[in-house]
Amino acid sequence: MKSKISAVCFIVGTFLLPIAASAATAEGDVDSTHPMAFVKDSAITVKVKAKLAEEKSKSLVHVSVDTDANGAVVLSGNTPNQAESDKAAAIAKATAGVTSVRNDIVIKKAD
């Protein structure tokens, strides 16, 4: 019985961790070296990647997303044209929690 209660508490705690991290950073009381900052950064990265995937553009699959402790996003990888690169940057800028976007995507023409 105790193991079932422990398992349920662990699972609930796992799901509540991102919510607690978001609430704590909104109040500004978590520093960037704290593990909760990592959860926030990862959540932003996942949001940007999900939005890029929603575009269903094969070229955006080659775009990597990295987020730092302050919500700054760095895009890297390659796309076949400038329009795709600009689209990826616009998607990242429009994502909640992103404070800035650095676009390091390389334009690589298909052979």
Q: What is the pLDDT of residue 59?
A: 79
C-alpha 93/C-alpha 2 separation (Å) is 47
Q: What is the pLDDT of residue 18?
A: 59
Cβ–Cβ under 8 Å, residues 44 and 97: yes
C-alpha 91/C-alpha 107 separation (Å) is 17
Average pLDDT for consecutive 10-residue bins of the chain (111 residues)? 61 57 48 53 88 84 87 92 93 93 89 60
Q: Is this model's pTM higher than 0.75 or not? A: no
Q: What is the pLDDT of residue 104?
A: 95
Residue from 29, 50, 51, 30 nearest 39 by CA: 30
Q: What is the pLDDT of residue 41?
A: 76
